[in-house]
Every structure is written in C-alpha cells, then in structure tokens.
A and B are shown apart, each in its own frame.
Chain A
Amino acid sequence: MINEHLPALVIGLPLLAAFATPLVSKINDKLRNIFVIGILGITLYLVYSLLCNVLNDGIFVYVMGARSTGLTLPSGYKMPVRIILEADAMSVFMAITTAVISLIGAIYSWAFMDKETGKDKFYTLLLILTAGMFGMELTGDMFNFFVFLEITSIAACGLVGFRITRGESSEAAFKTMVLYTLGALFVLFAVGILYGEYDALNIATLASRIQYTMLDKIALGLLLTGLAMKAGAVPMHMWVPDAYAEAPAPVSLVLVVNTQAGLYGLFRVLFSLYGASLSTQTVGWILIILGVLSMFVGVTMALIQDKLKRLIAYGAVSQIGYMLLGVGVGLATLNTPALQEYGMRAMEGSIFHVINDAMYKGLLFLTAGAVIYCTGKRNLNEISGLAHDMKFTSIFFIIGAGAIAGLPPFNGFASKLIIYESVYKFNPMLSVIAILVSILTLAIFVKIFQSAFLGPKLLDVKKEPRSMVLAMLVLSIIVIAFGLFPDVVVDKIVSPAVNALINRMDYITAVLGG
C-alpha cells in the first residue's frame, strides 16, 4: 500500500514530524534527537524505494486529492486540474542526495548544537527545510515549485541567523533573505506570464503548448535570473560567502543541497518546459559563460580570504560553475548530432558532479565545523598544529581537499575528467580554463592544510565528539567509494537522469496520456 503513495509520503512525513517536534521536545531532549534522526532515516528508506520504483517502471505520476493516484485527466477534461507530483529519474537522483545529506546533518548536530539554546526550533526548521527541498524536487507544477522555493528560503534564512548572540549572523541572514525573496519574486512573475499566455500551470501541459514567442523569451530571462540567484552563480553570488560562513556547520551542509535544488529547477525549466523550442545555441552559451565566470571569480576570491569557512564557501561558488559548464555544453548541442557524441557525456559529467559536490563540499564544511567547535577560533591566522590532537579531522580534511581538487582516487576526479573530455571537443579553451581553476583550488586547500593542521602546536583543543566523527566517516566512505567505482554510479543513476532530461516527450505523455 505504501508503494502507491510514495512521493506524497516523502514530502508529507518530514512536514508532519516538523510540526510534532515542539511537542516531543517538551517530554525529553534526547528523545527529540532520536525522533528526528529516526524520521530522516525512514525518509531515506522511502526515497530509496521510490528510486527503485522509478528506475524499473518509468515515471511515477501522483495526483493529489483525486479518486485514484494516477487519474490525471478526470472525465471530460483535456488538461489536468489538480496538483500533480511527477517523479522521473532526475528528480529521484536529487531526492536521494537530499535524503542522505539531511540525515548526516541531523547526526552531526547531535553533538555540535549541544550547548546552544532553542534547539527544538532548530530541528523544526531543519525538517521544514528538508520537506521543502523534497517538494521542489518531486513536483510537476510550476506554482507548487514556487511555493516550495519560498518555504526553503524562509527556513534556510532562519537557520543562517540562528546564533543571535553574534551580530554578523543577523547581517548575513538579512542579506540572504533579501536576495532569496527577490529571486523568488522573479520566478513568480515568469510563472504569471506563462499562465496568462497558455492558461496552464502544470509543467507537462505547458510543455505541450509552448511556442517561443517574445513573452516566452522574457519569461525565460526572468526564470534564469531568479533561479541563478538561488543557485549562487556569479553576478548574483553576494549572499553565498556570508550565509555559509555564519551558519552553524550542519546548516552549511544542508544549504549546499539547497543551492543544488535551485540548480535542478533551472535544468527542469530549460530541458522539460522549453526543450527544443528555444534557441539552444544562445541559451547554452549564456549558461557556459555564467559557469566560467563562477569558476573563475569563486577561486580567485578564495585566495585572499583568511577566515576558514568563508574560504570554503568561495570554493563552493566555483564548483557551481562546473555544473553550469557541462549542462551548458549539453544544451548548446541539443538539436545537433553532436549530442550523442559528446553532449550527453558532458551532461553526465555535470550531473555526476552534483552528487559528488554535495558529498565532498559537505565533508569540508563538517571538518571546518569540527575545527571551530574544538578550538573556538574562526580565523586561520590564529590556529596551527591541529594534526597533533585532531587526527581524525586531519584525515577527513585530506580526503575532502583531494576530492575537490580532482585528484584520483576520489570522486571529484571521476566527474571532472568526464567534464574535461567532453567540453574539450566542444571548445578547447573552456577545458583549459576548467583545468586551471582546478589547479588553483588545489593550491587553496594545500594552503589551509599547511597553515591549520601542520606546524607547531599553538592551543589546547578539546576532543571531537563521537557523533561528529561518525557523520564525517560516512561522507568519507561515500567519497572514496564513488571515486573507486564511478562507472557503477554513472550507469545506474546518472545516465537515466540525463536521458530523462533529454527525452521531453516521455515527460509530457506520462501526464497527458499520449
């Protein structure tokens, strides 16, 4: 029975648990921690069974509130009238990343948030953020996407400004909220334009009716701007360093997946909503230019920072550039025979990079959080010689730094090699820029490692708690495993995702019934 209602349960269960958390925490504190971790574990199991279901049986369509779950066109209607959840291979790929990272964030925050007050509101906001991200990834309706986008913005902003004893947190939260809301309002404006033209809000119905008129071009520009603001691409990246630096470390981990959910929205709009009807060369080159700018600006701004988490945050901006680059190449070759040669490989590289980036970027943020928890200092000039006492953290930092720089045998190498090869066939200059940025990233992380972990011992540090070590250990195992067996991952979950993005007709006929 559960198998019929999987997408609704995946969204509804964290939401129900989020509202029940204040009542559970009145009973006992440890019970609430176990409750949150248990709910996220059950959600991971549900997402895994949804993954198996979609990979075996095709696109999973779920109509909310109808007489039966597949009844998209009730008697006499020619277009769907209810909100439809549509899970295809790309959606469940993002959903399983979200589920794993949220569970690890909850495990890490058992020890990390131990001394703070107001923890029941922290866990409530964390569960609402997770439910919002699942909603963004599994929905098939444009306005529903906007509502979940705003839910994640509000929850993420509340979590960024969580430590109200520091003034800098409130400043970062203010900036984050203004930019998130502005981006979401642009998205709403574009949804309004599309509704006014075609009288439909469902993505599949819009995709079957769309022609590329002048108003559609305006809507595309607004959607691109709004979703790039959420994803942190370069002209609109002001909020990224402040938000990641001031949030507590498990929140930075979940914010990485939040930015990638915005990137997922961009891909869904470009490939499934507009598809081959737009001028793929122009929009593809816009994405490529945004990607190259992000890579370059991110890594050069990171060279001059001296606060630990702000530096890693600029590294996150440059990794977003890799994802935009590969998908831009895929979009630019969409209607040409070059798609089968190297376009699809470029998209596979970028989408594999999405899950890799979540894993190793999360690991780096968690190690930075462990350093700040044990020493109490945030500035790189004041810490030194930590490898003497914090042995586990040093090893995990080496694994994370190797992965982000693209060294074998970690997973960053696998996805970056696919991107280098396929982008080289499109335009060699782009590939050279990508390799240069990779070398600069390696330089940055060697600098952090040398100044923070090696050298003479300067301070007395506390021991790292066990739950933090456990969370970082799980991420490291995933990083090494994806690096040693990349072709298993690419064949099983990345290739179906890329095929689902490119085959627009499957997406439309799953809802409208051919």
Chain B
Amino acid sequence: MIDNLPFIACAILVILGLYTLTFKRNLIKIVIGLNLVESGVNLFLITLGYKSNAVAPIYTMAAKEEMVLPTPQALTLTSIVIGLATTALILSFTILIYKHYKTIDASKVRRLRE
C-alpha cells in the first residue's frame, strides 16, 4: 500500500484540478486548475521510472551503478516546458480580456454567445 502512495497523490491532484477547472468562475482559478492537472500528470510520469534502492541517473561521481529510469525524466522535462509556454499564453489572453471586458468572471465574459 505504501508503494502506491505517489500514484494516489497524482490521482488526487488530477481530480482536484478537474474540479477547479469545471466549477470555479474566476478565470485565474481556471488557469490554476489547468496547472494542477498538469502537475498531476508530470508526477505520474516521474513515478513510473522508480526502482527500489537506486540513485539518480547522473554518472558524475555517482554512488553506485543502479539508477532509476532516465527516459520518463526527459518526458517530464518536455511536458514542463510545454506547460510553461501554455500558461504564459493563457495569462496574456486573460490580461487582454480584462482590458476589454473590465471583469474576469467567467459567467460575464460571454459576449460571443448572444
């Protein structure tokens, strides 16, 4: 049971993120929800590579030769970079929405539906 704890943590992060994304009305909180989902997925990717009693996969003065899998670490790094670019773009559009609509309540930002 204790070995599954990281997987449970990332499931909790994804569910909390989806809840925030769906039910909160402030636009900044929607962005935070998206970041929570992304953090959950990144945690899931890193946990996949774990082996017991192994060290970090860096050869410069390492302690021993058994190392955890390095491929999921590269995948997670790519995902973090993509998440950064996405968050920067969404926040820039939030600033523009505030300039035009003078509010960031998602139930009032609805000019396209009428």
Instruction: Spell out A's residues near B (CB within 8 Å).
Output: 143, 147, 150, 153-154, 157-158, 161, 164, 166-168, 170-174, 177-178, 181-182, 185, 188-189, 192, 195-196, 201, 242, 245-246
Contact = CB atoms under 8 A, between A and B. Distances in A.
Decide if the interface of chain A is mainly helix, strand, loop or mixed.
helix
8 contacts: A153-B86, A154-B82, A168-B112, A171-B111, A174-B27, A174-B93, A174-B94, A192-B44
Q: Interface SS of chain B: helix, strand, loop or mixed?
A: helix
Interface residues of B, number: 32
Given A147-B82, A178-B30, A173 B93 contact: yes
A308 to B, nearest CB: 14
Nearest to B47: A196
B97 to A, nearest CB: 5
B93 A161 contact: yes
Given A147-B78, A167-B111, A185-B37, A177 B44 contact: no
Pairs of residues from A and B, 4 with the lowest C-beta to C-beta distance, nearest first: A167-B100, A170-B96, A196-B48, A150-B82
Interface of B: 14, 21, 27, 30, 34, 37-38, 41, 44-45, 48, 71-72, 75, 78-79, 82, 85-86, 89-90, 93-94, 96-97, 99-101, 109-112
Contact of B109 (A150, A171, A177, A192): A171
A150 B100 CA distance: 28
A195 B48 CA distance: 8
Contacts, number: 81
A172 B45 CA distance: 31
A177 B79 contact: no
Contacts of B99: 167
A192 B86 contact: no
A185 B41 contact: yes
Contact of B97 (A167, A181, A242): A167
B34 A178 contact: yes
A196 B97 CA distance: 41
Contacts of B37: 182, 185
Nearest to B101: A167
B36 to A, nearest CB: 11
B92 to A, nearest CB: 9
A178 to B, nearest CB: 6
